[in-house]
Amino acid sequence: MAVSLIDFGIQEALQQLGIELHNKGTSTGSTWYSSEEEITSFSPVDGKLIAEVESTSIDDYEKVIETAAEAYKLWRVQPAPLRGDIVRQFGEALRKLKEPLGKLVSYEMGKSYQEGLGEVQEMIDICDFAVGLSRQLHGFTMHSERPGHRMYEQYHPLGIVGIISAFNFPVAVWAWNTALAWICGDVCVWKPSEKTPLCGIACQHIIAKVLRDNQLPEGISCLINGNYKVGEMMTTDKRIPLISATGSTRMGKIVAATVGQRLGKSLLELGGNNAIIVTPDADIKMTVIGAVFGAVGTAGQRCTSTRRLIIHEDVYDAVKNAVVDAYKQLKIGNPLDENNHVGPLIDTDAVNGYKNALQKVVDQGGNIIVEGGVLSGDGYESGCYVKPAIAEANNSFEIVQHETFAPVLYLLKYSGSVENAIDIQNGVAQGLSSAIMTNNLREAELFLSHVGSDCGIANVNIGTSGAEIGGAFGGEKETGGGRESGSDAWKVYMRRQTNTINYTTELPLAQGIKFDL
């Protein structure tokens, strides 16, 4: 494994996370398998090769699934509070390793160091949530129509949960799934993005040590690496009842069709095309803060990034000018330097997508008011740094209808009532996150009503990104309909069962049917 030398302590971070030359492939905890095929991890920060990571072969995959299935037999019979205590220990380990893991996330993915630390904090938070939940996996009791009978519902673990995560949140999304799946009694097999494989290896080291220290089977947490072909091994595998996949809508449709064909379950977190509505009663200062952070945070590579700003004509110029002025203050550069606001895109393919989007908005009649462009020269050698751009556009533009995973913000003007703005906001195929900026109670309540936002997340006077783990996370329409993290999202990792107990000496039949023997 070749690790690049930079001035931000990456080598030290890797050492703290236990990443060594021989730990770079497929893992069932403490056991690592090697393969002839490799994927390479380049940092978008400086363009240097971080590591060559071995892909999972078919033989390796079979060993992982067999190990996971065997571990499940023991894990499922452990009391849920005991499983919760293992998750608690995992959270404590993350607390100790928050800085090196956050640094690796920043360097391998390209998000700011503050965001890297924040992502690890999300992992810690979901562990805390899951620990409490491990004592609350409740069912329901209902009255039977038959005398002397008791009827209730309970939940049982599914088995092996397959997790396919994306590069933009290389560790948190895995934790959202595993922390809940583990306390539910499931075991997990994780395929991280091939663009951020080291983050997956680091997490596997952390949980593997917790499992060893508690003399628990390593198959409770498994890691596989590779491209979409490795993902296909999971989606077509009948031994994996649930596939949780995060990524593009295109990818999600393939996963849903493949898993559905074998009547498996899928939890999908897909694309977003998120908007903030700005009414005449909005606080402009708050609007600018929410819009700018939402549009440029993680260089626009969040599924909850703000793509569209829908502004009433009465305040359009004031809001536009304030946002443009704020963009002039943005600092773009190495994300490990905390003075910078915006880091790089993940790779040059993402840069090409960004450039194509800007060209399309012009071709389709839009007006670029904050020029974009690719940065070059000292500090930008990777070729992945771009300028956040703003364009005046129309919601009907083909490019506006699609998600561009880059810092491109579209300004859309509306007139009349807030219902017109809601129609514009809902007028896209995606339905993840949405927000309205207003001090008008009627507008806020209408936005949150059944005739308001059609998204899975709807906020008032905060932006579209920054969801808390306590609420269920996910969206509607082409966002996939999945829900992760808080609320009762744990139920997707379990199977539901209705039970009826007859404690009499008679056996009455339903609908009064007589069957005498």
The residues carrying an active-site annotation are 269, 303
- Work out the burial of residue 350: count CB atoms within 10 Å of its CB; fewer than 13 is exposed, 13-18 middle, 19 or more buried: buried
User: What are the tokens at 35?
Assistant: 């393969």
Q: Residue 161 forms beta bridges with which residues?
A: 188, 242
Neighbours of 243 (CB within 10 A): 26
Handedness of CA 193, 195, 197, 198 (dihedral sign): negative
Q: Where are the alpha helices (DSSP H) in 40-79?
A: 58-75
- Identify whether the C-beta of residue 46 lies closer than 8 Å to the C-beta of residue 6: yes
Neighbours of 462 (CB within 10 A): 17
Which three-class secondary structure state does DSSP give residue 348? helix
482-to-46, 270, 372, 476 alpha-carbon distances in Å: 35, 9, 34, 8
Neighbours of 423 (CB within 10 A): 12
**502 dihedral zone (left: phi>0; alpha: psi -120 to 50; beta):** beta
Residues in the chain: 517
Give the CA angle between residues 206, 209, 213 to the nearest 5°: 145
d(CA 296, CA 407): 5
- Identify whether the C-beta of residue 224 lies closer than 8 Å to the C-beta of residue 231: no
Residue that is written with structure tokens 């947490």 in the block: 221
d(CA 191, CA 234): 9
User: What are the tokens at 247?
Assistant: 């990524």
d(CA 309, CA 395): 10
d(CA 18, CA 212): 15
d(CA 46, CA 68): 37
User: What are the tokens at 459?
Assistant: 């906020």
Q: 457-460 and 433-437: which strand pairing?
A: parallel
